[in-house]
Amino acid sequence: MGLKEEINYSLWCDFIERDFLENRFKEIIKNGIIQGATSNPAIFESSITTSVAYKQQLDMLQANNEKTIYEELALTDIKRAAFLLDDLHRKDADDGFISIEVDPLLCDDAAGTIEEGIRLYSSINAENVMIKIPATDAGYIAMRELTSRGINVNATLIFSPQQAIKCAQALDEGIKDSNKDIKAVISVFVSRFDRLMDNDLSNKGLQKSKLGIINATKCYYEVTKFENSNIRTLFASTGVKGNELNPSYYIDNLIYPNSVNTAPLATIEDWLTDGKKEQTAIMSEADCDKYFELLKDKGIKMEEVYEKLLADGLESFKNSFKDLLSKLKH
């Protein structure tokens, strides 16, 4: 029996590219390695601008504006991924999802996000698609509205427990309003904390590479308090950069019941070879809280850390999207 059957834990692949979909993606679905997939503006920017697999369709779309070109390219991939994941979704309604993000430039525009979310979901026309929405004030409004309309949502760029609570509240209300079996995930970013804070923590005599996991665990506890089985915590930003950590570190340490981990393909391959395949011992919520008290005593202001990471995350996705659109100009 695998982790999926034992504790409803799922591994999703955080990557999409056209040739990959027709090759390794099919294999890792067939072999039961992954149960879903995610995409984001940075992934599409990299795939579309570096892979020759898009050239033929790009040539055919040259008469259109750059956002239309992007959407046609991206939606072709998303529709294909949804088709390939459909059998999984039919067997288990929690899984077999592919996510596509709304235009990140709309992150502070609730009405625009809602309109685009509905349009993208209708264009793809597949039940196993999640619309990704950043966890901003406008995003919470959009999450609630889209789920109430029967659209699955992936709430993204969650860094703080407070964001996790606001997402869970919005999604819980929307799902209940929908009267449908709508699914949602709350994507808590992990490794970015350690990349930002490790040097500071080390200088203060604290252990490195722990903050991301403890913060993600606290967010996980906040989501589980809503007791809505249709909402799962998804651990994102789980790739390792550099050589100090085991490549599958952020998978190995976050194998929790009723959760998802979306990881880059290389991280999944490393996990298959050397990673842990059993549930992780979970730090108690009281111990998580004690850790944050310790950080406070050491002069670390977590609210400032959360604000910086969210601002940086939004800026990064906006820049990737703008860079891609500029490259699609003709």
- DSSP code at position 16: -
Given a contact cutoff of 8 angstroms between Cβ atoms, the answer to whether 144 and 178 are in contact is no
Strand partners, 154: 132, 185
Question: Do residues 96 and 88 lie in contact, with contact meaning Cβ atoms separated by under 8 Å?
Answer: yes
Dihedral of the alpha carbons of 81, 11, 163, 47, in degrees to the nearest 10: -40
Tokens of 306: 């959360």
Taking every pair of C-alpha atoms in the chain, what is the biggest distance, in angstroms? Answer: 60
d(CA 182, CA 206): 42
First to last CA, the chain: 53
Q: How far is CA 151 from the centre of its chain?
A: 16
Q: Which two structure tokens, joined as six digits, stand for 148?
A: 């109430």
Which of 26, 132, 183, 208 is flagged as catalytic?
A: 132
E strand spans, the chain: 10-14, 36-38, 98-101, 129-134, 153-158, 184-189, 231-236, 259-263
Q: Report residue 185: phi and psi, to 5°.
A: -130, 150
Catalytic status, residue 132:
yes
Q: List, in sequence order, every beta strand (DSSP E) within 219-271.
A: 231-236, 259-263
Catalytic positions, written as ranges:
132
